[in-house]
Amino acid sequence: MSDTAVTRAVEAIRSATTVTVLTGAGMSAESGVPTFRDVQTGLWAKYDPMTLATTDAWDDDPALVWAWYQRRRAMVQAVEPNDGHRALADWASTADVRVVTQNVDDLHERAGSTDVVHVHGSLFACRCDTCGRAHEVEASEPDGDRVDPPRCECGGRVRPGVV
């Protein structure tokens, strides 16, 4: 990209009053959140998505799925938003900044962004698998590979709020 093109892009960004920013795995990777598809370190290099991230997986072994997502929640809670997250949140003080993210973590919100859409859901927006009621869930490291998910008042199981 030429210096002229970069200068024009910077000027356009500086004068923008409404901005929509799309973020993905690279944004949170800077904070230490592993991506899913990286060949060497990605989560799917170590785990089979069919056993953890499908409705069939939930139906077949909800305790395995719940424990895996509990570990992910605890891992996300242990890291901090990075300069990219903070820059977007700070930008919102001078423009209408909307963040659309594929990430299921809460790092944009913890950095201060208030207009965030999670395309793939959120680790922290759990719901009952029967009635759909929202549930608050503590992020804690599980003791073992399987942990029975909490139960809803209706008797259903509380499931991760991700797609």
Confirm whether 4 is domain-assigned.
Answer: no
CA angle 102, 108, 114 (to 5 degrees): 110
What global pTM score does this model have?
0.85
Domain that holds residue 57: 18-162
Confirm whether 5 is domain-assigned.
Answer: no
Domain of 63, CATH number, reads 3.30.1600.10
Confirm whether 135 is domain-assigned.
Answer: yes
User: What letter does residue 118 receive in the DSSP assignment?
Assistant: E
Number of domain units in the chain: 1
> Which pLDDT tens digits describe the chain residue by residue (163 residues)?
678 899 998 898 888 999 999 999 899 999 999 876 554 554 445 667 677 778 898 999 999 899 889 988 999 999 999 999 999 999 999 999 999 999 999 999 999 999 999 999 999 999 999 999 999 988 888 888 889 999 999 999 999 999 8
Catalytic residue positions?
A: 120
Confirm whether 134 is domain-assigned.
Answer: yes
User: From the CB of residue 58, how many other CB atoms can be counted at a distance below 10 Å?
Assistant: 18
Q: Three-state SS for 128?
A: strand
